[in-house]
Amino acid sequence: MSAEKSGWLRAAARSDLGQGEVLGVEVAGHAIALYDVDGDIFATDNICTHAYARLSDGWLDGDLIECPLHAARFDVRTGKVLDPPATEDLKAYPVRVLDGEIQVNLD
Ligand code: FES
């Protein structure tokens, strides 16, 4: 399919992600977190770079996600780590909405 060729993959229905919420999904075997920040959608890896925790179990505050395990915080727009104990940034991915679907590009 052309969607696959161009690197865009379905992550969720747009209606699955409520305003101000974070949602954990699997995309092509990758654990991805989707975030709604005032209606804009962002995507990063869902696993914290510090130890093993799912950021989708944490707390989204504006454009910051706080890890549920040791409270590291990341900027969901860029994946940049803002507060320890994590020191490594998350990978962030391009996102688009097409026909009511949230799609991410993992390339
Ligand atoms: S696992 Fe996320 S801060 Fe430790």
Distance CA 79, CA 14 (A): 21
Q: What is the pLDDT along the chain (107 residues), one digit of tens a residue?
A: 444 467 999 999 999 999 999 999 999 999 999 999 999 999 999 999 999 999 999 999 999 999 999 999 999 999 999 999 999 999 999 999 999 999 999 98
Q: Which of 70, 73, 88 to mutate to test the pocket of ligand 1 (most atoms within 8 A of CB)?
A: 70
Domain count, the chain: 1
Residue 13 CA: distances (Å) to CA of 9, 22, 23, 106: 12, 13, 11, 17
Q: What is the pTM of this model?
A: 0.93
User: Which residue in the block uniquely carries the two structure tokens 């040791």?
Assistant: 70
**Distance from Cα 87 to the centre of ligand 1, integer Å:** 10
* 53 within ligand 1 shell (Cβ under 6 A): yes
Closest atom of ligand 1 to 51 CA is 1
**Distance from Cα 91 to the centre of ligand 1, integer Å:** 15
Q: Which domain holds residue 84?
A: 2-105
Domain harbouring 41, CATH code: 2.102.10.10
Q: Whose C-alpha lies nearest to ligand 1, atom 1?
A: 51
Q: Are 107 and 6 in contact (CB under 8 A)?
A: no
Q: Are 45 and 56 in contact (CB under 8 A)?
A: no
